[in-house]
Structure 1
């Protein structure tokens, strides 16, 4: 930190203290002497009033003591002369005053020689207040001569030493100011450490917040502006943490959306490529055999002509089958297909599908076992569920080992869902492919799939059907093969009964 706030704070306060001391010294140099002079004049004027009052009312011991105290306090000398042979002159004076010069100036005034004044401050019918330089004393005096009744008086105070006092005072202030500035600098430095500690603490907090560390908080208990700033920083930290968390979540969601969009685009391209590939072979066969018929290759052989026609019809059926399955899949995924919900016995459905699919065994030596209760009622679209089971069983027949075994199982789980599974012995599916077998046209063994005419969209249809039912489906590798499963949710009232029973 190049410019510490503590040093700035200390420097400002030290400069302010120095400036104050300097201003006091300058003020003394220019105004202290004038101020002392005005105070001297004021003291003389008060003494005039006191003397005139005593002359008019008469002298007493108390009055004399009061006058002597005033003279001693302000270094004032008083000389009073009563006119008349029966009256003796009375002089009230300060013990440290030179009365020789004062009496001579007073006698000169009484004999009418006038006043030798350097400056007259005030002149009335009863007195004259002036400034005069006393050459004998080598000092300037503030004096007042006047009359009160039958008395004449002179009051005088010396200005000697004022300049020296001012100079001495200024020197004292300078030395004291330097000492005070040095001592004050240390005090200000240590005090500024305490005053700036919360600011430095908040600076550290702000630095950590800038590094996205929002676990730090201002923990001060101050009730002033710094405390309010700390509380504001705490609120700002919480809001920033919340906002940044929301932004991170939004960014993560955006990244997922982008990834999903890219994946959808990739799947769309792959879908078009796979559709083109699946349709290319039957179209090529239809085109080839049609051209052969047109060219009259089989005109002389009815059996060959029938064979050509059978191939064309068979390939057209395959194309029609693929297109229908794609349309069904699209309707299922888009939610446009209406399900025919009904309650039926899934065990009976499994027996029917198992018997109808026995022909798929072909030359395989395969044993099929059904494990299901005598009656197991489910709530679903029977036609759609039959297609799910047919797809599972078709896969099992085509991938079962030779000799092999296929197990079909159905049961009701503790949570009320009905689970149907088809397991076959044979090769396992690579772990990396387990989540991808549900994608359209995805084939683990493309050569083997092509050999039995699979299109690669059967499992995609299974997933779409189960999603439309609100159920779930999955696949897992077993010790000796692969097992596909699906689960159907119970009917609403059945689910309520299952939950009550479990509670």
Structure 2
């Protein structure tokens, strides 16, 4: 019901309570007042009857001599009653000592000569007053009896029956007046209550409106402080709270912005969850690592492709390595660090997951292990050969045949030289890795360097019936490089080209200046070529396309790795293009000399 909604307002609650308190107070006062007023009128009314009875007793006592009742006596008493200024509404009776009515003011003489039983106690010397209600007429009467004494003897009694309608009419009129006064007082009080309630509720309404505005995010508006009372202090406290919240939210936004900036620029992925494992925060790097969108409120076990799901809540740190297959890469290895967020009571309330891409570290670790294994294998093979031939020589059987002994010693020497080359290459790679190699760079003419390299391999090409082509331009700029190291790179690449090019095919060496000013040297052959799957790893240490063939040709598997390190140390690049069974081209780019270096 709509009218009940009024009581949802504090203002009307205050007014209603105020009016109810006033009404209750007025009712209590009214009940007390009417009780006292009725008692006052009652006793006053009775005292009036007593006074009248006393006067009548004094007037008629001389006429009430025992044993002298006669008609003349009754007449004299009637005359006395008629002459006295008595209330006409009262029924006054004079009763003799036998209780018989001898005179009355009612005008009805039927009661005369009739014994009145209500005066029996009075004739014994007691005053008597009672209130009687006529239920048929609905009237109340006060019955008062007073003894008539003559010379100390009771000779009769005065009996008065007085209606009380007048008294109660007066009380009723006063009651109506008081009710009107109460109604007027309540109306005025209600009006004043509304005004007073507004002085309380208006500031509360303003604070409520401000709280609603604050809930929408606006903290600039302030509540007006009108007084220094409790509500004024509440308004001041509310304004202080709004200021504090504004500062706190501003600080929180700044911290949130810093956190988002940190998360967005972290090299590691971060995912935060609640105690149930639902994602609440993540960064872009985590999505890049996992290769999927990390949806908020999604279970962490549904996001991570784990064989065994994480049991939540987690109370201890855990570390898991996750390997993912990618189309564009061989594999990706992610280290997952799970750190629980704990209360002081050690209760888990969340989880922080840090994702680290350790693919490169894992690759390096695998390469290191593979490198150690390759070095061990490369050293073990010649050592085994040397050992076996030396054991054969030691047994003395080969010494009886000089040609066989010479061949054994030749093989032993070749394997020792192979070990020496391998160790020298390893030492050179180690120096290149540690950046301890100092290149004696100087301005060089590419034509001179390349022609010298061509001269070193023309004879080998002629022996294998391989066509050698040299294509150089005269206007090539000088390069700033170390001659020995560049010669080593060219010798390694030309040696590989000649080794893996069959008879009747060709090897070419050319150079040109690119648009960016760099000098590009190309070494091409029409040999056996390299399969596409091996091109990406061709510059790795100890990597061979055909291990048996490479080892039989005396290669250590480190030449291309050394060539790449030297070229990159000069600020250049090296790359290989090849088609299997069609040929291979290796392209080297070297930076030109700076003008001041050239002029010097």
Which interval holds the TM-score relative to the shorter structure?
0.5 to 0.7
Structure 2 unaligned spans of 5+: 30-166, 223-241, 271-284, 290-334, 336-354
> Which residue of structure 2 lines up, in the alignment, with residue 472 of structure 1?
573
Shift in alpha-carbon separation, 1:327–1:291, aligned structure 2, 3 A: same
> Which residue of structure 1 lines up, in the alignment, with residue 171 of structure 2?
138
Q: Deviations over 1:342-372 (max 9, x none)?
A: 1222222222222222354486442121111
> Which residue of structure 1 lines up, in the alignment, with residue 58 of structure 2?
none
Q: Does 1:332 align with 2:432?
A: yes
Separation in 2, partners of 1:452, 1:372? 30
Larger RCO (CA under 8 A, 6+ residues apart): 1
> Which residue of structure 2 lines up, in the alignment, with residue 199 of structure 1?
215
Q: Deviations over 1:178-215 (max 9, x none)?
A: xx9xxx9xxx9xx9899748736x7xxxxxxxxxxxxx
Report how far residue 389 of structure 1 moved: 0.7
> Which residue of structure 1 lines up, in the alignment, with residue 375 of structure 2?
275
> Which residue of structure 1 lines up, in the alignment, with residue 558 of structure 2?
457
Shift in alpha-carbon separation, 1:264–1:355, aligned structure 2, 3 A: same
Q: Deviations over 1:5-44 (max 9, x none)?
A: xxxxxx9x93634542343234433677999xxxxxxxxx
Report how far residue 313 of structure 1 moved: 1.1
> Which residue of structure 2 lines up, in the alignment, with residue 23 of structure 1?
17
Q: Looking at CA atoms only, which structure, 1 or 2, has the larger radius of gyration?
A: 2
Structure 1 unaligned spans of 5+: 1-10, 36-133, 142-157, 203-219, 498-503
Shift in alpha-carbon separation, 1:324–1:23, aligned structure 2, 3 A: same
Equivalent residue for 2:263, pick from 236, 244, 248:
244
SS in structure 2 at match of 1:486: strand
Report how far residue 172 of structure 1 moved: 10
Report how far residue 386 of structure 1 moved: 0.6
SS in structure 2 at match of 1:277: helix
* Contact persistence 2:469–2:509 (CA under 8 A): yes
* Contact persistence 2:530–2:579 (CA under 8 A): no
Separation in 2, partners of 1:193, 1:482? 81
> Which residue of structure 1 lines up, in the alignment, with residue 594 of structure 2?
492
Matches within 5 A, 1:110-259: 137-138=170-171, 161-166=180-185, 196=212, 199=215, 225=242, 234-247=253-266, 249=268, 258-259=358-359
Separation in 2, partners of 1:259, 1:411? 38
Separation in 1, partners of 2:463, 2:521? 27
Relative to the length of structure 1, the TM-score reads 0.58
Report how far residue 424 of structure 1 moved: 1.4
Q: Does 1:343 align with 2:431?
A: no
* Contact persistence 2:461–2:467 (CA under 8 A): no
* Contact persistence 1:25–1:173 (CA under 8 A): no
* Contact persistence 1:32–1:166 (CA under 8 A): no
> Which residue of structure 1 lines up, in the alignment, with residue 535 of structure 2?
434
> Which residue of structure 2 lines up, in the alignment, with residue 406 of structure 1?
507
Relative to the length of structure 2, the TM-score reads 0.49
Q: Deviations over 1:139-198 (max 9, x none)?
A: 899xxxxxxxxxxxxxxxx75633344567789999x9xxx9xxx9xxx9xx98997487
* Contact persistence 1:139–1:160 (CA under 8 A): no
Separation in 1, partners of 2:182, 2:473? 126
How big is the alpha-carbon RMSD for the aligned residues of Structure 1 and Structure 2? Answer: 4.3
Separation in 2, partners of 1:460, 1:422? 17
